[in-house]
Amino acid sequence: MGKLDSNSTHEGNMRTIQGCRSCGYQGLDVVLKFGNVPLANALLTEEDLKKPETGYPLTLAFCPKCSLVQILETVDPEVLFRDYVYFSSFSETMLQHAREEAEMLARTRSLGPESLVVEIASNDGYLLKNFVETGIPVLGIEPARNIAKVAEQAGVPTLCEFFGKELAGKLRQEGRLADVVIGNNVLAHVADLNGFVEGVALILKKNGVAVFEFPYVGEMIEKTEFDTIYHEHLCYYSLHSARSLFAAHGLRITNVEKHPIHGGSLRVFAEPEATAKTNGKAVTGLAAEEKKRGMTEAGFYKTFAAKVERLKTALLSELRRLKAEGWSIAAYGASAKGSTMLNYFGIGTETLEYIVDRSTAKQGRFAPGNHLPILAPSALTERRPDAVLLLTWNFAEEIFRQQADYLKSGGKFIVPVPEVKIVGKEVLG
């Protein structure tokens, strides 16, 4: 597969950490080594195909002191995020999830025209626009220039900056303190964790709340969701590791919710220690559950590499069987998850013909590493592949609905996680 130069690394754009990103502990335990893989969202143009493509090491590790699971490599965020291809608004599931969160916060925090909601990594305004529509002031903070521009055009005030304690200090000096700070799927992306959370504490009003959502490492390990791991995702949180990080900056997690999105996520609510309510039953309950499952010990994570290897064997075996029977196979979702799966498992043009994706920002480009062309989803009904490998399995139900015609005509989806299965029109109900 692919044309990736596995011996090449961009040391100038990458550094390797020596201690835990959260607590600084030096004795990290390695969980899984991916070798050199391309940046997951570094989609290629036709001109790029003529140039050498570079891989970066990717290594997952566990901190036995604070329980944070993290990768050892940090790629320069200017490389990763300044020109970004992920637009949240292309997912109906994400839009619905965001709308429900905004409505819940507006109601439970009694937000109105005098309030301020700040979202860090606000993407294209998909969440904040729900507050704007009801007259609640907002501020988005989004480092990707192309995406921040889209948010501004949609009427969502947006600062095109990376968030940290320096920017937070400026906002505080300007009197721009927040009743609610939101960070969905951003805490995983942050290299300077302590500076980031210190910044959150700086811009919160004394009775404010910070609401963060992130993929749950407990689900990732137990359901073999290894494709959640890529260079943009520096950290993978449990409640235990998140509590430790926030507590170091005077914030207490007073509530936690589990949500099914992204294969299983946690939503935590953190308040300034001086005004925080006592921990709710959800926090004490989940903390006890994590202890019981062994999630604060290295042993819980040591089996992960073997589970990933078993999944790899199962998926490659199934794909080889289908190809031997003459099946044509495409893939759905030019996602970061998909990049990890295809590149780590060694799946490329010998198996797949193309990838389809709803995002017009991705169509016409090529996937990193394997150089598969990215087409619009209409290609499935036009070209009728026998099967489609579902790389964005976390949005399976939404995609099945969108591809009802393909399924009704006899098409099949190969769902790779948490275990390999082939489904057809029966999933439509």
- What pLDDT is recorded for position 315? 98
Asked, for residue 354, whether it belongs to a domain, the answer is yes
Most distant CA atoms of the chain, gap in Å:
67
Q: Are 226 and 236 in contact (CB under 8 A)?
A: no
Kindly report the average pLDDT of the chain as a whole number. Answer: 93
- What pLDDT is recorded for position 141? 97
Higher pLDDT, 4 or 353: 353
Helices (H) and strands (E) in the chain, counts: 15, 19
Asked, for residue 287, whether it belongs to a domain, the answer is no
- What pLDDT is recorded for position 11? 55
- Check whether 7 has a pLDDT greater than 50: no
Asked, for residue 289, whether it belongs to a domain, the answer is no
Asked, for residue 89, whether it belongs to a domain, the answer is no
Q: Mind listing the pLDDT tens digit for each residue in 154-212?
A: 999 999 999 999 999 999 999 999 999 999 999 999 999 999 999 999 999 999 999 99
- What pLDDT is recorded for position 4? 36
Number of domains in the chain: 1
Residue whose structure tokens are 């969980």: 31
- Check whether 406 has a pLDDT greater than 60: yes
CA distance 349 to 16: 32
- What pLDDT is recorded for position 91? 72
CA distance 234 to 12: 18
Q: Are 200 and 284 in contact (CB under 8 A)?
A: no
Indicate the pLDDT class of residue 230, thresholds 50, 70 and 90: very high
Asked, for residue 85, whether it belongs to a domain, the answer is no
- What pLDDT is recorded for position 261? 83
Which tokens hold the place of 93? Answer: 């599931």
Instruction: Report the CATH number that the domain containing residue 397 is assigned in CATH.
Output: 3.40.50.720
- Check whether 137 has a pLDDT greater than 80: yes
CA distance 316 to 322: 10
Mean pLDDT confidence for 245-257: 97
- Percentage of the chain exceeding pLDDT 90: 86
Asked, for residue 367, whether it belongs to a domain, the answer is yes
End-to-end CA gap in the chain: 37
Q: Are 330 and 379 in contact (CB under 8 A)?
A: yes
- Check whether 363 has a pLDDT greater than 50: yes
Asked, for residue 403, whether it belongs to a domain, the answer is yes
Q: Mind listing the pLDDT tens digit for each residue in 369-397?
A: 999 999 999 999 999 999 999 999 999 99
Cα torsion angle, 353, 305, 368, 121, sign: positive
Mean pLDDT confidence for 242-268: 94
Q: Which amino acid is at 422?
A: I
Asked, for residue 308, whether it belongs to a domain, the answer is yes
- Check whether 8 has a pLDDT greater than 50: no
180 alpha carbon, distance to own chain's centre: 22
Q: Mind listing the pLDDT tens digit for each residue in 36-95?
A: 999 999 999 999 999 999 899 999 999 999 999 999 999 987 777 655 554 555 578 888
Domain that holds residue 424: 304-428
- What pLDDT is recorded for position 90? 56
Query: 210 burial class (0-12, 13-18, 19+ CB within 10 angstroms)?
Result: buried
